[in-house]
Amino acid sequence: MATPEVRRLRLWQNRVETEVEIAGSGPPLVYLHGPWGLAPDRAFVARLAEANTVYAPRHPGTSRGDPEAVHVLDSWLDLVVYYGELIDRLQLGAPALAGHSFGGLMAAEFAAAAPRSVGRLVLIDPVGLWRDDLPVKNWMVLSDRERRPSLFADPEGEGAQRFFGVPNDPAERVDVLAQFVWAQACTGKFVWPVPDRGLKNRTHRIAAPTLIIWGKADRIIAPAYAQEFATRIAGARIELIEDAGHLPHLEQPDAVAKVARDFIGG
């Protein structure tokens, strides 16, 4: 996997410094990572980069050297407008936009707020809607015994092993774990304690052709939510992924990359 170019952008009146990892060639695709930061998603982003130029920004507060940026954006509105500034700054026209979990919610919200700025929309197990009969599990407070089975269809599979793996070197280990925890803190800021910021009131504004990808064994947010999203987004299509939980792009990267790339077009 080629090392991506890392571009540092200063945004939001120079108060937020963010890294955007850029890789591949082809039509532009912006990818928004989930609650655990960009690091676990890198291999998947590299697959998308086989057909697109992928721009993967880090959520505010998760870029190296700027953890305090988490305190700069005060509200959901700030965050949505911030992403508008970020995408404007990249000067991509109306790129395809993809996101996983929290990043999926962010992508959908942005597509509703700025419908002419998004060419195509791919949502991978997004959060953001709520059903009382199917409460979304709080991924920031998972007990040791439920953590793996909540996130992965196969708790001992390769995807899970890689996701939970930590380096042997003590300093690297601290760094990886700190990033892993802090990414949850920074994203969780905007969806705690219930990941419903009222997206359902705004989904009618989404104009981009939309693909909804869902792990059939997602035990964080049930696959029934795929239909909840599809019902609200005109013309949206659903692809369910076999043998995959909340992180289908890590558990079944080939299958997810294929349906995403077929939909986005290279």
State which residue, 166 or 224, has the beta carbon closest to other proteins: 166
State which residue, 174 or 224, has the beta carbon closest to other proteins: 174
Shortest Cβ 35–other proteins spacing (Å): 9
Among 52, 117, 184, 203, binds other proteins (CB under 8 A): 184
Among 1, 178, 224, 234, binds other proteins (CB under 8 A): 178
**Segment lying near other proteins (by CB under 8 A), choices 9-17, 66-74, 113-121, 225-233:** 66-74
State which residue, 188 or 245, has the beta carbon closest to other proteins: 188
CA distance readout (Å), 138 to 56, 210, 221 = 25, 26, 9
State which residue, 158 or 192, has the beta carbon closest to other proteins: 192
**Segment lying near other proteins (by CB under 8 A), choices 93-101, 171-179, 197-205, 254-262:** 171-179
Is residue 1 a contact point for other proteins (CB under 8 A)?
no
Is residue 141 a contact point for other proteins (CB under 8 A)?
yes
How is residue 204 annotated by DSSP? G
Is residue 70 a contact point for other proteins (CB under 8 A)?
yes
Decide the pairing of beta strands 5-11 and 16-23. antiparallel
Helix (H) or strand (E) holding 250: helix 248-251
User: Residues 188-217 vs other proteins: string with x where CB under 8 A?
Assistant: xx--xx------------------------
Shortest Cβ 136–other proteins spacing (Å): 15
CA distance readout (Å), 108 to 67, 127, 160, 183 = 25, 10, 27, 20
Q: Are 217 and 228 in contact (CB under 8 A)?
A: no
Is residue 137 a contact point for other proteins (CB under 8 A)?
no
- As a whole number of angstroms, the distance between CA 245 and CA 211 comes to 18
Secondary structure of 28-89 in HEC code, one letter for each residue:
EEEEECCCCCCHHHHHHHHHHCCCCEEEEECCCCCCCCCHHHHHCCCCHHHHHHHHHHHHHH
CA within 13 Å, CB half, 50: 12
- As a whole number of angstroms, the distance between CA 94 and CA 187 comes to 24
Is residue 142 a contact point for other proteins (CB under 8 A)?
yes
Which residues inside 147-166 make contact with other proteins, applying CB under 8 A?
147
Is residue 143 a contact point for other proteins (CB under 8 A)?
yes
- As a whole number of angstroms, the distance between CA 163 and CA 174 comes to 15
Among 16, 129, 186, 221, binds other proteins (CB under 8 A): 186
**Segment lying near other proteins (by CB under 8 A), choices 39-47, 70-78, 154-162, 219-227:** 70-78
How is residue 262 annotated by DSSP? H
| Angle value at C-alpha 52, between 82 and 70, nearest 5 degrees | 25
Shortest Cβ 124–other proteins spacing (Å): 21
Binding site for other proteins (CB under 8 A): 67-68, 70-71, 74, 140-145, 147, 173-174, 177-178, 181-182, 184-186, 188-189, 192-193
